[in-house]
Amino acid sequence: MNDFTKEELFSLKADILFVRASIGNIDWSECILVKLQSMIDSYCDHVDSEFKGNFYDIDLNLCKKCGEFYR
């Protein structure tokens, strides 16, 4: 499920790189950069399928492209 837009992910990555350049490397920054890059690389602009579902009162759609459920 995409909680961020692709643009937001790029922005977060740029902000972390800016902080690193400004004040130096932070212990957690490399780990977060790797995770952000993974989220960017696997990002899917979901395409609706025929399948709709509901899980604990949350309406979900199944993506035709990646097969993941999303809101």
pLDDT at 3: 79
Mean pLDDT for 55-67 is 85
Average pLDDT, whole number, for the chain?
85
Name the more confident of 61 and 1.
Answer: 61
Percent of the chain clearing pLDDT 70 (strictly above):
97
- At residue 41 the predicted structure's pLDDT band, cuts being 50, 70 and 90, is very high
Which tokens go with 4?
Answer: 């961020």
Contacts of 6 (CB under 8 A, 6+ apart): 40, 43, 45
